[in-house]
Amino acid sequence: MSDVAVRSQGVTILAALHEAFARVTGWKAMALAVLLGGFSSLAFAPFHATPVLIISYVGLVWMIDGARGQKRWGKAVFARGWGFGFGFFLISLYWTAAPFLVEPEKHAAFIWMPLLLLPGGMALIWGAVMAMGAAFWSSSPSRVFVFSFFFMLGESVRGQLFGGFPWNLPGTSWIPGGAVSQAAAIGGVYWLSLLTVLACAAPAALVDTRARRGIAIRLLPVVASVIVFAVIWAWGGQRVSQPAPLTDRTVVLMDAGIPQSEKFGKDGYANPELFRTYLEWLQADPGDPDDIVIWPEGAIGTLLLDDRQLAPTAEYLGERTLIAGTTRQQSVPGGGYEWFNSLVVLGDDSAVTGPSGLYDKHRLVPVGELAPADILPFGEAISGILPGAIQRMATSGFTPGVGPAIVYGDNVPPFVAMICYEGLYPQIARRAQQEAGHRADWLVVVSNDAWFGAMIGPAQHYAQNRYRAIETGLPMARVASRGVSSVIDGYGRETARAHRVETDREGWRGRLLRASLPAPVAQPLFQWRGGGAIFPMTLILVTLLAFFFWRR
């Protein structure tokens, strides 16, 4: 503790706790902020313990109360915001160290990069926005709205800066497909995130340092939050009580489940057993002519459109249709090639005609897929030490595709394609449909979750992907290598999940699923042209008005 003078007023039972958080300084304040941030990570998949955000956010607000009274308050608030962010990103993203352990003899010495540099760098955003927000701080309930506004300002920046990394937004703490998650259909996950931060920070208003103030004004943020989320819960509960209508189309999800460490040999070439496994599965169950078979991102580890792979794939596929992720190369004038992370639609005649549908990933993973030199001043220096589990061409990187698109292929309903990291972005499906001028029939997400390792990363990725179904009202087929492969309806509910397939390949965790594709549900407000901005902007306006009202 310190000699910072804080006398708490309000709900008596919380006064001592408020003083304890507000008075802590120095390294103890930094340690407490890191602990609060780390604790908040339990709110997300696979735990979905959203109430822990109340403890974390309230604790941070109360710590800023104390920091704001210090002589060098800007520095003190920044330190608390940075510490909170560091703890959160360290615990919730520790799995990003997994690629550095695929070939530990080469990369284990650089494991400090994902464990220190990544969380420390992203935490700078939270430190900066908290310091900015502290300039508008007061002891009234208005500080709850200031905190929420600037917190989400930081989340918006995080989703765009250096290519963006909008992982574990506060709104995704709610179980996807549950009642509260349905609010994303109205204004998207960022709108739900702002509501979540407001509600979880609201109890901080119960205690402040103002004397002779009634309890009613301090209760208003909490009461308002309870009412808002009660309405959301009731509306969302009615929404998810609806059955999931099915179409007459069948999807067959295939994931060979190869460990990332075995996908490529020491010579850099793809493991031939991987391609052989997919061909064996195609041959084992010829299925029906209308089946849509889906393979994950970079499914066979080599160029699927090369004649040596394309011809046997088309032969084993028969009359079925295949949607598969693959690396693709394209020659450029003057010699050389561009490389793309792509998704293709293939049929039995594709060996002659080529793919009937093609999509190139346009939202590339910062550093992992984008050339590091293109986004970081020191990128060229680190490109050589990045593990191949992230990107086997780290120096050159992939070329971004032209943008979001609806994919049209022979014998498949039109769909919006998203490859791995793109499944984090609400605007991709929305823009694709708006630019096409009509609605797609479904979403296809392919991913390589094998590089996440056997940690919490795949569960987090899956939960966030399901929010794209809620925002669009479209069913989703998701195939993730060593992740969750499943079919999801337009409410974000899982209708079928791939089951484990026993193989004679030790350590492989193959999964298969044959299931009916659900039908789209009514188009959500978030998908209407301009509708996606109405509710977020309205909530921001209300937040700012509430701030000015209470500040007076």
Tokens of 94: 């520790």
Virtual torsion, Cα 214, 215, 221, 223, nearest 10 deg: -130
The torsion angles phi and psi of 398, rounded to 5 degrees, stand at -85, 160
Tokens of 408: 């049209």
Task: State how far Cα 226 lies from the chain centre.
Answer: 27
How much helix, strand and coil, in percent to the nearest 5, is found in the chain? Answer: 50, 15, 35
Task: State how far Cα 77 lies from the chain centre.
Answer: 28
Angle between helices 73-92 and 26-40 (to 10 degrees): 40
For residue 61, give Cα distances in angstroms to 36, 160, 201, 208: 11, 25, 7, 10
Question: How many whole angstroms separate alpha carbon 426 and alpha carbon 182?
Answer: 14
Strand pairing category for 476-481 and 442-448 = parallel
Is 361 tagged catalytic? Answer: yes
* Residue among 285, 331, 232 nearest 501 (CA): 285
Q: Would you call 287 helix, strand, or coil by DSSP?
A: coil
- Most distant CA pair in the chain, distance: 82
Question: How many whole angstroms separate alpha carbon 308 and alpha carbon 420?
Answer: 26
Of 19, 155, 297, 369, which is the active-site residue? 297
CB atoms within 10 A of CB 269: 10
Residue 113 carries which DSSP code?
Answer: I
Q: In what order do the strands lie in the sheet with 321-331?
A: 357-360, 337-346, 321-331, 292-294, 246-255, 510-518, 499-501
DSSP secondary structure string for all residues of 68-100 = HTSTTHHHHHHHHHHHHHHHHHHHHTGGGGGGG
Is 297 tagged catalytic? Answer: yes
Q: Is the peptide bond before 46 cis (omega within 30 degrees of 0)?
A: yes
Strand pairing category for 246-255 and 207-208 = unpaired
For residue 320, give Cα distances in angstroms to 115, 163, 233, 306: 45, 37, 42, 20
Tokens of 151: 């917190």
382-388 LR contacts (CB < 8 Å, sep 24+) = 382/113, 385/107, 385/110, 386/107, 387/99, 387/100, 387/102, 387/103, 387/106, 387/107, 388/102, 388/103, 388/264, 388/268
Is 200 tagged catalytic? Answer: no
Of 200, 420, 471, 494, which is the active-site residue? 420
Q: Would you call 484 helix, strand, or coil by DSSP?
A: coil
Per DSSP (E only), the strands in 276-356 are: 292-294, 321-331, 337-346
Residue 114 carries which DSSP code?
Answer: I
Of 19, 361, 422, 471, which is the active-site residue? 361
* Residue among 296, 386, 291, 416 nearest 348 (CA): 291
Tell me the catalytic residues: 297, 361, 420
